[in-house]
Amino acid sequence: MSDLALALIPGHGPRADRWDPGAVGVNGGISIEEAERVRVLAERVRLLAVERGLPCTIHGTAKQYRQRQAEAVAAHPGKRLVLAHLHLNAGLAGRGSDYGLVLHDPRSTAGADTARRLVDAIPAAMAAAGQPYLRSQRVVAAARPTWDRAANLLEPAWALPHGHAVLLEPAFLDHPAGVTAVVRSAVIDALARGIVAGVFGGSAA
Ligand SMILES: [Zn+2]
């Protein structure tokens, strides 16, 4: 069994008083919600990891992100933990583009290393699957104040003794290329393969 574990925190969803859909894009006249798509992606990642015998859990039901992180840590005692926040729009509001981002805490070298592996593995998996979407992914150190929203999610992991966090933003739902991509199950599958390969190593196939 791997000494490394992956805990996925899909963004948005349950809040104290409502369901938060996150960003909403439109594809063919149908609304596409970030909260729903990242949960589909998380489940695909988890299944692929479990098929390979790799520890992977999903924590998307608590109303507070800190509670989701606490549940993730509790799920993997004794492991080195990668906390992966999944979003499809936490970037600069209204300025989404046809690339994606992997963000890390600027203080975290482990986070930067994981982010670099993911920005290599995700486009490789997309290309291997013959999906001409989202080939370009960029590493971003989530410095305040530009990246306040990402920093709010990443910074709590700084205190973990054996873990670090990254925030994946593989597409932007407010960009046509992003919304066109993430409605496709083949794209979700390729993204998931890239995430498993980026975190655990090995091929994306
Ligand atoms: Zn989001």
Q: What is the pLDDT of residues 19-63, one digit of tens each?
A: 999 999 889 999 999 999 999 999 999 999 999 999 999 999 999
Cβ–Cβ under 8 Å, residues 96 and 172: yes
Domain contains 189: yes
Domain count across the chain? 1
Question: Phi, psi (5° rounding) for residue 32?
Answer: -115, 120
Domain contains 182: yes
Q: What is the pLDDT of residues 144-154, one digit of tens each?
A: 999 999 999 99
**Cα(174) to centroid of ligand 1, in Å?**
11
Q: What is the DSSP letter of 52?
A: T
Task: Specify the pLDDT at position 203.
Answer: 66
**Cα(1) to centroid of ligand 1, in Å?**
32
**Radius of gyration from C-alpha coordinates of the chain:** 15
pTM of the model: 0.95
Task: Specify the pLDDT at position 95.
Answer: 56
**Cα(137) to centroid of ligand 1, in Å?**
17
SS3 at position 27: strand
Q: Which of 113, 155, 121, 143 is nearest to 4 (CA)?
A: 113
**Cα(100) to centroid of ligand 1, in Å?**
13
Confidence of residue 162 (pLDDT cuts 50, 70, 90): very high
* Average pLDDT of every residue of the chain: 92
**Cα(154) to centroid of ligand 1, in Å?**
13
The domain containing residue 190 runs over which residues? Answer: 4-200
Confidence of residue 168 (pLDDT cuts 50, 70, 90): very high
Q: What is the pLDDT of residues 118-139, one digit of tens each?
A: 999 999 999 999 987 776 899 9
Domain contains 77: yes
Domain contains 143: yes
Query: Residue 185 sits in a domain of what CATH number?
Result: 3.40.630.40
**Cα(4) to centroid of ligand 1, in Å?**
26
